[in-house]
């Protein structure tokens, strides 16, 4: 008899969870899987809503397409010309940025592409990115943290012929699971703290104590850190290895075995976890091993309360409980040995180098790039169309950051702190940079130029970005 597919919402609660489930009364701990949107035209409506996140009062949220928290997953095909219609049904301005996508600056959804209340913004672009996991989120200057904290965001899965030819798990919601990780602080009336730096309640796809049933075979987890500041030092509860198959902007050449994966805000990794030797009915978890994180890693601070405190800080905690169920009929049982063949830009191709410094005027002052706070009227960098550039980002001694640049995917070529972690050896658009560290990456600025519309580079710690740690560059023909 063929094993039947695992239902999307099917959750088997083991006995260890039953007391928790009883406490939570009507609150579901089943991992929520965002609805799927595919095709070439995507309609998104951002509006206020609410969700039962914890027992008691509903939590007020922002979400796309009435999902309650977060938004639908957009499935795009490389090579397609896509059109999006984003309607702002909030009571404040917003923007929607396509994080990681290579497209014209005017279509990018940065702070300049403001969508006023009641208006619809309709960007169009050709999907040029490799198959990987990208995401969309508000990028309105000074309110990014608030809008993201309230839940506005969503995944973009880009598909291409290289990825499609591989025997990889890709049954959405069954063995191919999107995971947006972000803690939130809830007030006594269950309302989200929109200026809070670290949350006390771990939310995975907007669900507290999230639990998922996964089949006993290789499963693919597409993980996004959608925090304000917290980093996740991810691992599996029983200490097993797992394989990284994709970084921010594409497949890696070969699966990379790791036991820990550090993710800072904005980063994505796709991993394969082998559950084929797990007994049906057994349980394990994806866990943040954040106990002992050095100072400078977001959430490594020891305080449990106060401005930089959280119950989750410097602690190990589950981000997803996994119950193993019977395998599906076409489950993946073998790890592919080769995934793709990436051609990264190299030092010999570099036509220009520049340095960007993360600066500050001492603890408690806003972070800036090169001493200048973000100004929408200032172009901070000029890049020539077609240039291959080496950017060196230097950090101050105050705190770690999560550097992100729009338009391009890049290759990290050096870290002054030592070796580049094995899992960072793929296409990246965001990386963690620690205190007093220098990181150099190489990128080619191709295809799109404008004398008018800039791209952004910024810290993806949303409160740092809102505080002014953001700059603009023009790619000029």
Cβ contacts of residue 252 below 8 Å, gap of 6+?
A: 244, 245, 246, 339, 340, 342, 423, 425, 426
Q: Determine the interface stretch with Cu ion among 258-266, 374-382, 386-394, 459-467 (rule: CB under 5 A).
A: 459-467
Q: Which is nearer to Cu ion, 29 or 463 (CB)?
A: 463
Applying CB under 5 A, among 464, 466, 472, 474 the residue interacting with Cu ion is 464
Q: How would you classify the pairing of strands 81-88 and 120-121?
A: antiparallel
The CA radius of gyration of the chain, in Å to the nearest whole number, is 21
Give the other-Cβ count within 10 Å of 258's Cβ. 18
Q: Which is nearer to Cu ion, 99 or 401 (CB)?
A: 401
Q: How would you classify the pairing of strands 124-126 and 176-184?
A: unpaired
C-alpha torsion angle, residues 173, 178, 182, 183 (rounded to 10): 30
Rounded to whole angstroms, how far apart are CA atoms 34 and 203?
14
Residues in binding contact with Cu ion, number by CB under 5 A? 4
CB of 464 to Cu ion, least distance (A): 3
Task: Name which of residues 193 to 212 contact Cu ion (CB under 5 A).
Answer: none
Helix H, strand E, coil C: the string for 268-321 is EEEEEEECCCCCCCCEEEEEEECCCCCCCCCCCCCCCCCCCCCCCCCCEEEEEE
Cβ contacts of residue 266 below 8 Å, gap of 6+?
A: 99, 225, 402, 404, 429, 430, 460
Q: Which is nearer to Cu ion, 401 or 415 (CB)?
A: 401
Rounded to whole angstroms, how far apart are CA atoms 221 and 33?
12
CB of 461 to Cu ion, least distance (A): 4
DSSP string, 411-461: EEEEETTBPPPGGGSS-BSEEEE-TT-EEEEEEE--S---SSPPEEEEESS
CB of 178 to Cu ion, least distance (A): 25
CB of 460 to Cu ion, least distance (A): 7
Q: Determine the interface stretch with Cu ion among 21-29, 35-43, 145-153, 464-472 (rule: CB under 5 A).
A: 464-472
CB of 385 to Cu ion, least distance (A): 29
Q: Determine the interface stretch with Cu ion among 28-36, 73-81, 428-436, 463-471 (rule: CB under 5 A).
A: 463-471
Judged by CB under 5 A, does residue 263 bind Cu ion?
no
Applying CB under 5 A, among 461, 462, 474, 475 the residue interacting with Cu ion is 461
CB of 401 to Cu ion, least distance (A): 3
- The Cα-based distances of 241 to 45, 87, 279, 420, 424 in angstroms read 40, 43, 18, 19, 17
Q: Which is nearer to Cu ion, 258 or 459 (CB)?
A: 459
CB of 402 to Cu ion, least distance (A): 6
Task: Compose the 87-126 pattern: x for residues touching Cu ion by CB under 5 A, - for all others.
Answer: ----------------------------------------
Tokens 């008018």, residue located:
452
Applying CB under 5 A, among 459, 462, 470, 475 the residue interacting with Cu ion is 459
Task: Compose the 269-298 pattern: x for residues touching Cu ion by CB under 5 A, - for all others.
Answer: ------------------------------
CB of 413 to Cu ion, least distance (A): 22
The H-or-E segment that residue 463 falls in is: helix 462-466
Task: Compose the 392-421 pattern: x for residues touching Cu ion by CB under 5 A, - for all others.
Answer: ---------x--------------------
CB of 179 to Cu ion, least distance (A): 23
User: Which of 290, 307, 305 minimizes the C-alpha distance to 230?
Assistant: 290
Q: Which is nearer to Cu ion, 339 or 459 (CB)?
A: 459
Q: Which is nearer to Cu ion, 204 or 290 (CB)?
A: 290
Residues that bind Cu ion (CB under 5 A): 401, 459, 461, 464
């Amino acid at each position: 008899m063929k094993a039947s597919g695992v239902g999307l919402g099917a959750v088997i609660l083991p006995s260890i969870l039953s007391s928790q489930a009883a406490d939570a009364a009507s609150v579901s701990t089943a991992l929520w899987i965002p609805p799927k949107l595919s095709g070439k035209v995507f309609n998104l409506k951002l509006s206020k809503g609410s969700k039962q996140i914890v027992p008691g009062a509903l939590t007020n949220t922002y979400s796309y397409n009435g999902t309650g928290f977060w938004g639908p997953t957009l499935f795009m095909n490389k090579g397609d010309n896509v059109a999006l219609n984003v309607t702002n049904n909030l009571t404040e301005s917003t923007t929607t940025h396509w994080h990681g996508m290579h497209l014209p600056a005017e279509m990018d959804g940065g702070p300049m592409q403001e969508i006023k209340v009641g208006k619809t913004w309709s960007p169009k672009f050709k999907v040029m990115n490799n198959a990987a996991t990208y995401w969309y989120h508000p990028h309105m200057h000074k309110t990014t943290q608030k809008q993201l904290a309230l839940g506005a965001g969503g995944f973009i899965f880009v598909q291409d012929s290289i990825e499609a030819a591989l025997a990889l798990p890709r049954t959405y919601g069954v063995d191919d699971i999107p995971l947006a990780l972000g803690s939130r602080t809830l007030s006594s009336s269950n309302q989200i703290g929109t200026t809070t730096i670290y949350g006390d309640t771990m939310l995975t796809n907007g669900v507290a104590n999230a639990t998922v049933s996964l089949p006993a075979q290789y499963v693919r987890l597409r993980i996004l850190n959608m925090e304000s500041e917290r980093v996740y030092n991810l691992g599996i509860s029983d200490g097993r290895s797992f394989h990284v198959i994709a970084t921010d902007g594409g497949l890696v050449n070969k699966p990379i075995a790791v036991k820990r994966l550090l993710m800072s805000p904005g980063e994505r990794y796709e991993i394969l976890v082998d559950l084929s030797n797990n007994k049906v009915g057994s349980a394990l978890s994806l866990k943040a091993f954040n106990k002992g994180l050095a100072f400078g890693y977001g959430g490594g601070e020891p305080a449990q309360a106060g401005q930089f405190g959280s119950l989750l800080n410097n602690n190990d905690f589950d981000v997803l409980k996994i119950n193993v169920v019977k395998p599906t009929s076409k489950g993946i049982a073998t790890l592919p040995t080769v995934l793709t063949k990436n051609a990264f830009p190299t030092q010999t191709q570099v036509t220009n180098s520049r340095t960007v410094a993360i600066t500050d005027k001492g603890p408690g002052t806003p972070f800036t790039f090169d001493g200048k706070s973000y100004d929408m009227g200032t172009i901070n960098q000029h890049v020539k169309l077609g240039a291959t550039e080496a950017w060196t980002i230097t950090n101050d001694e105050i705190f770690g950051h999560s550097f992100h640049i729009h338009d391009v995917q890049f290759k990290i070529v050096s870290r002054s702190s030592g070796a580049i972690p094995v899992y960072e050896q793929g296409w990246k658009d965001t990386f963690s940079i620690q205190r007093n560290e220098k990181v150099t990456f190489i990128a080619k600025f191709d295809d799109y130029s404008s004398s008018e519309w800039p791209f952004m580079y910024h810290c993806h710690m949303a409160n740092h970005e809102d505080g002014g740690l953001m700059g603009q560059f023009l790619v000029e023909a």
